[in-house]
Amino acid sequence: MESSASGDGSSAADAATAAAAASSSSGPSTSAPAFSAGGVAGPSATHYLAKRVLHGSAVQHVARGRFRSEHLWEIVLCKETSLELVVVGEDGVLQSICEQSTFGIIKDVGVLDWRFKQFGIWPEIEGKEILVLLSDSGKLSLLYFSCQMHRFIAIENIELSKPGNMRDQLGRILAIDHDSAWVAISAYEDAFAFVHVGKSPHKYFYPPEIVERANIMHVVYKTSDIRGTVWSMCFMRTRCSMDEYYPVVAMIINRKGSDVNELSVYALAANDGGIQHLSSFSEPGPLALDISEIPQLDGFALLFRAGDILFVDLREPKDICCTIRISITGSLIGGQISVEDSCRGLDVDDDVAACALLELRDSGNNIMMDDNYMAIDGVDNAGSMKSRIICSWSWEPDAVRGRPRLIFCLDDGEFHTLEFNWDIEGVKVLPERVHRGLPCRPLLWMNRGMIAGFVEMGDGMILQLEHGRLVHKSAVQNVGPILDLAIADYHGEKQDQMFSCCGMCPEGSLRVIRNGINVEKLLRTEPIYQGVTGLWTLRMKRTDTYHSFVILAFVEETRVLSVGLSFNDISDAVGFQPDVCTLACGLIADGLLVQIHSKGVKLCLPTTYAHPEGAPLTSPVSVVWYPDVTISVGAVGQNMVAVATSNPCCLYILRVRSLSSFQYELYETQHVQLQYEVSCISIPEEDSKLRTVSSAVGGGDVRKRKGNNLAAKVDVRMFAVIGTHKPSVEVVSLEPEEAFRLLSIGSMSVNNAFGAPISGCIPENVRFVASERFYILAGLRNGMLLRFESDTSKDHYFPGSFYKDSFTPCVNTPLQLIAIRHIGITPVGLVALRDSANADIIVLSDRSWLLHASRHSLAYSSISFLPASHVTPVSSVDCPSGLLFVAENCLHLVEMVHGKRLNAQKFSIGGTPRKVLYHSDSRTLLVMRTGLTGASCSSDIVQIDPNNGILLSRFKCEPGETARCIQIAKIGSEQVLIVGTSKSNDHPMMPNGEAESSIKGRLIVLSLDTLGSPRESSSFIPTSNLSSSSHTGSFPEIVGYATEELSSNSMCSSPDDVCYNQIQLEQMTGHLRSLTHVTFAGAVLAVYPYLDRYVLAAAGNTLCVFGFVNENPHRMKKYAVSRTRFTITCLKTYASRIAVGDCRDGLLFYSYNESLRKLELIYADPAQRLVGDVALLNCETAVVSDRCGSISVLSCPRLEVSESPEKNLAVHCSFFMGEIAMSIQKAAFRYRLPIDNETDPVLESAYNCVVASTMLGSVFVLIPLTSEEHYLLQDVQERLSVHQLTAPLLGNDHAEFRRRGIPSGVPSILDGDMLVQFLELTSEQQQTVLDAAPSGKGPPRSISIFQVMRTLERVHYALN
């Protein structure tokens, strides 16, 4: 985020000029015109775009499968509105592969194992498992992972019910049979269905991106005779004849009016295709909660109940019996669970039944979410079910034959395993307790004995089963729920970070969330490196694990440094020419380094002083090759050097040979004169290239190509990629046994309509990338990034001209410009993270980006670091995955953790942090906490240093008192903190929305003049205990990432090391001092300063205005009182406007008449709304969220005040997020690209951006748009929502989903998640999207790709 914002004032004429220029070009334009294509809206803007900048991290469902390849196990994390594909490394660290929005709400997940059934039919899904999802779309979605698109794509959406899933409509729970042929689906209640799924009998040909004609044969068998609520179900293998009943499902049902759950068996009758009820099993006893068939033991199931587990025999589904009862009612520290051979009748526990009832959360159009005051707002550690209930379980995936094992987690945090041993005497159950920690839901047993557990409101964990005990391997970050956030850059401090209150007791924490990919800053030198022109790291041998040398090039100097935490100058021992500017360098052979400068090429053999394996000589061995003209560019490859000259334009190929011991010769093998000057050269790593080709062609992780073998791969020509002043990108052969040969060429069309010089389109850097298919990246001098590809035959990875036995001319294999993006205005540099052709690439321009090499088109993410001029990977013993940046004339050694799922620093502060404020004067945070376990108080306000989490000062509430809200106010010249409290821990309102009359509250004024200042030298004290399950004291130790703490104690630590951050109480400097307080007949839920001299306080349904006599904070006086019908939940002010949100009547606008000392209601909400939070953008406009998952922009109507004493607010636009926003903050974003006109005035509405945080841990940003931008992007959104590659994944109608619960006639806010998919497409796919017309809307309106890209790139740039 940027702290400043500016507009891009452009006229319609400018947009028309841009459209005309783009359409007149013969091909994709590579110019960088310096004009503004649009700006932000004015103060009365009614058009907005909503973009999710942080996906939710709260995991509801998890699935394991082979989604990318038959040889790779991956995990899919379902987070209600998004999917994330992850892998777990051997070190137990969870790494993200991809994440995508679903444009729907996930209800359940499963996996179809079609790896062998589909062989040879659909190449895109060959060898892969299929992900199955149920959602609010009312459809059963079958998804496969597209390696080329790097995302999941739907191959079928089977319609089951209407969108929204009413309680009696299918779409709540699914189960899949062993043969992956049947799917059982239930509604919340009454309805149930079998779906038979299978492949089409027809054979389809392979298309490049999507299986267009592929269809799934399916038959749906439904019934509505369940007459109860379905809690759980599973398929069973029984002794029933398939000709009589098949398939068979066992389910747990709560019949209407019953206090117990019964086990019922249903089956599909083969004779008439109807679903029949076979039998029921019900005895008095604990409530049955879940059921699972036991793998390898056909016909047997486990029935999980409150306090025990029943081993049930369903081999004869009409005669169900229980043979073993496993009791789990022991104490937390007691002995093992017990196993009994008989099952007697058990007692009913009505309390357990009432507390454990299935939560029916429905997002249908006619069903509102529960709008009682949410437990998360008021009570910590609210009990839900009695202890000793199994909250999650998972079977061992590769168990020993005949000995299946189960791991389960109890709601008190105990983990147990059950092993079932089948022998001639029957089934034996071997229980064992293996761990005690936090309760997890869900739980997944993975391969290698690793187990993933996800905590509902805290960080999850990866555990490994070793010698009968679970060992902690790593933490899985979860920032949900985000109860509040503060944005530091709102005050112009240019800090791209948010401070958020995350989780709940005992896992509550304060997180510093930053945008982009996290880097851990390890070392920074003094600013003594001015004028750096080049930066490289070299190994002594190609097989070396670590780098040995750092080469720094200056305008007239070259220095060679040793690699390590301290950089020592060893230039004399290496042999590089010190008084020249190095153009390029590299390792030509083991022990031999090459330096290229403008006057020649120097071959060097370093001495043992520079490297232990160097030459045992007093001075380095060196050989120099001099051309007749000046060298302009060069590159070093394996046993070859390529250099180019500018006048004349020639290309030289050099090689090296050994003459005798320590004597070498550089000699010229090829020399050719070119038509155009060479601007850059790149020689792919030979070993990496061949290894990548081998993997891509014959490996199991991508599509198989018949007819390939290793000989064909080895016969690929050696080649280099060059950029020319034509401008063009060319691939040339470097084979020593043949003449110079042009293999392929990619030309760039130049658009000079805006006066851009041709020199700006010249490639500055080029790079060959070998991924799912090979491509060429080109970074231009005008700040643009291009991707070129070439068509290849079905049986080959490269075009024909790349193979030695081919004489295909280059004109038959042209490079096609696939994608183009604006990165900045400075020349683009490309640096690979590793010496591999498929490594991710750092892209340098005005900012640093990480380009994901395996992704489709051009996909990149911002790096959370300073703008840098140069970068190189550096690997050493102390820092194996380092990066060396040149920024601000300093060398910065950092480690990048781009596989980490969240860029968030964690401070474990104990309790539940509910409110956070950033105090700009002291640069510290004020945090309100509840749910503390200390004896002195259960709630307090603390001051925390955001740099290291140290507690600086504290205010304790009275015993039994809970802080509810805090705000900073200024009284005269003194800053104070206003605190609202409740004198009870009970809910402050009744279910009908009225205030609880029996609860009292206080308004407290605290002095901020004595706030301590942060200490620069403070740091964390890491510890090594990894399996603590209890928390002691007010500040418990909670697992976190070492890389997130920027601590000097974690220098060069592994990016996945785990440590605890313990706040040091002894460093607290003082206490927040109370100045005065007022008692209310109601809990004070909201406070806010007003007009710099008043304070507003809301207690129950009463709104009060307080002032301070003679600006004395000790003398507070009540001036006015007003009442609403229901309890007030939030307050915000802007100038003289007061916005009040309550739990029924929605948003209310008030004003205060100072002369009459009266609060006046000015505008009311046109609809009932349970307000989550509100932000005032100006005196007329507010953004409000509700507890149904929507966010709306409301403003005052354009009417005279005298027309009506009370008027309704106008709803200008709304957006259904599918997540409940708990906090809304006004923010500022720099809403323009570097190529835009910097002289444009800063419009006021540039600061009218909004940041919203949700219960699932997501962060949304709303950006205002002009009418022209909105009109343009609305057309694009409609076309993307129906295109096969970008349509909603779960089969939702996009317009219906984003308008769910919104009154008809209210415009919808544009969906940024849908729109940014346009940037991930190739230029050809983008044009296809724009050429398509939405159904029923006539011929499509002509839209320029240039206009769309320019607008979306501006949004992408602002949000990164």
Which residues, in sequence order, are CB contacts of 352 under 8 Å at separation 6+? 286, 287, 306, 385, 386, 389
Helix (H, G, I), strand (E, B) or coil at 778: strand
Q: What is the pLDDT of residue 816?
A: 86
Please tell me the least confidently modeled range out of 163-167, 611-615, 729-733, 1079-1083. Answer: 163-167
Q: What is the pLDDT of residue 1152?
A: 92
Whether 882 has a pLDDT exceeding 80, the answer reads yes
**How far is Cα 1303 from Cα 1167, in angstroms, rounded to an integer?**
9
**How far is Cα 546 from Cα 744, in angstroms, rounded to an integer?**
35
DSSP 1047-1064: -GGGTT--TT-EEE----
* Most confidently modeled range among 384-388, 489-493, 994-998, 1151-1155: 1151-1155
Whether 392 has a pLDDT exceeding 80, the answer reads yes
**Which regions of 1221-1278 does DSSP assign to beta strands (E)?**
1221-1227, 1249-1254, 1259-1264
Q: What are the tens digits of pLDDT across the range 1161-1209?
A: 988 888 888 899 999 988 889 999 998 899 999 988 765 444 444 578 8
What single-letter amino acid sits at 849?
W
What single-letter amino acid sits at 642?
A
Confidence band of 964 (pLDDT split at 50, 70, 90):
very high
Confidence band of 249 (pLDDT split at 50, 70, 90):
very high
Structure tokens at 836: 């591999």
Whether 13 has a pLDDT exceeding 90, the answer reads no
Q: What is the pTM of this model?
A: 0.82
Q: Look up tokens 């061992």; give the residue.
A: 396
- Strand 414-423 and strand 275-281: pairing? unpaired
Whether 363 has a pLDDT exceeding 50, the answer reads no
Helix (H) or strand (E) holding 537: strand 532-538
Q: What is the pLDDT of residue 755?
A: 41
**How far is Cα 637 from Cα 722, in angstroms, rounded to an integer?**
14
Q: What is the pLDDT of residue 700?
A: 37
**How far is Cα 645 from Cα 672, in angstroms, rounded to an integer?**
11
Q: What is the pLDDT of residue 798?
A: 66
**CA geometry: angle at 664 spanning 661 and 669, to 5°?**
145
Confidence band of 184 (pLDDT split at 50, 70, 90):
very high
Q: What is the pLDDT of residue 1038?
A: 26
Count of residues making up the chain = 1360
Q: What is the pLDDT of residue 103?
A: 94
Which residues, in sequence order, are CB contacts of 467 under 8 Å at separation 6+? none
What does the pLDDT average to over 149-159?
89
Question: What separation, in Å, do the N-terminal and C-terminal C-alpha atoms of the chain show?
Answer: 6
Distance of CA 1089 to the CA centre of its chain: 36
Please tell me the least confidently modeled range out of 5-14, 558-567, 963-972, 1266-1275. Answer: 5-14
Q: What is the pLDDT of residue 493?
A: 41
Whether 202 has a pLDDT exceeding 50, the answer reads no
What does the pLDDT average to over 158-162?
88
Q: What are the tens digits of pLDDT across the range 117-141?
A: 654 556 777 788 899 999 999 999 9
**CA geometry: angle at 988 spanning 986 and 993, to 5°?**
130
Q: What is the pLDDT of residue 806?
A: 60
What does the pLDDT average to over 1008-1035?
41
Cβ-contact 283, 290 below 8 angstroms:
no
**How far is Cα 882 from Cα 872, in angstroms, rounded to an integer?**
9
Q: What are the tens digits of pLDDT across the range 924-949?
A: 899 999 988 876 788 999 999 888 88
Handedness of CA 366, 371, 375, 377 (dihedral sign): positive
Cβ-contact 890, 867 below 8 angstroms:
no
Which residues, in sequence order, are CB contacts of 481 under 8 Å at separation 6+? 58, 376, 457, 502, 503, 504, 1222, 1254, 1255, 1256, 1257
Q: What is the pLDDT of residue 148?
A: 80
Q: In what order do the strands lie in the sheet with 924-930?
A: 912-919, 924-930, 940-944, 951-956, 1070-1071
Cβ-contact 1097, 1145 below 8 angstroms:
no
Whether 576 has a pLDDT exceeding 50, the answer reads yes
Please tell me the least confidently modeled range out of 559-573, 811-825, 1243-1257, 1277-1291. Answer: 1243-1257
Cβ-contact 155, 143 below 8 angstroms:
yes
Whether 966 has a pLDDT exceeding 60, the answer reads yes
What does the pLDDT average to over 874-888?
88
Q: What are the tens digits of pLDDT across the range 1219-1258?
A: 999 999 888 765 555 555 544 444 444 567 899 999 999 9
Whether 1062 has a pLDDT exceeding 50, the answer reads no
Q: What is the pLDDT of residue 496?
A: 66
> Which contacts (CB < 8 Å, 24+ apart) does range 789-796 have?
789/815, 789/816, 789/818, 790/744, 790/814, 790/815, 790/816, 791/816, 794/705, 795/705, 795/706, 795/707, 795/708, 796/697, 796/705, 796/708, 796/712
Cβ-contact 836, 499 below 8 angstroms:
no
Other Cβ atoms within 10 Å of 467 Cβ, number: 6
Share above pLDDT 90 across residues of the chain, in percent, rounded to a whole number: 30
Mean pLDDT (the chain, rounded): 78
Q: What is the pLDDT of residue 510?
A: 92
Q: What are the tens digits of pLDDT across the range 754-809?
A: 344 555 689 999 998 887 778 889 999 988 899 998 876 555 666 656 665 665 56
| Cα–Cα distance list, 1048 to 50, 160, 1053, 1055 (Å) | 39, 57, 10, 14
Please tell me the least confidently modeled range out of 7-21, 180-194, 1107-1121. Answer: 7-21
What single-letter amino acid sits at 1142?
D
**How far is Cα 201 from Cα 1047, in angstroms, rounded to an integer?**
61
Share above pLDDT 70 across residues of the chain, in percent, rounded to a whole number: 77
Q: What is the pLDDT of residue 394?
A: 94
Other Cβ atoms within 10 Å of 1033 Cβ, number: 13
Whether 1360 has a pLDDT exceeding 70, the answer reads no
Confidence band of 41 (pLDDT split at 50, 70, 90):
very low
Q: What is the pLDDT of residue 846?
A: 85
What does the pLDDT average to over 1104-1114?
88
Handedness of CA 570, 572, 578, 581 (dihedral sign): negative
Whether 365 has a pLDDT exceeding 70, the answer reads no
Which residues, in sequence order, are CB contacts of 13 under 8 Å at separation 6+? none
876 phi, psi to nearest 5 deg: -140, 175
What does the pLDDT average to over 1141-1151?
89
What does the pLDDT average to over 694-716?
40
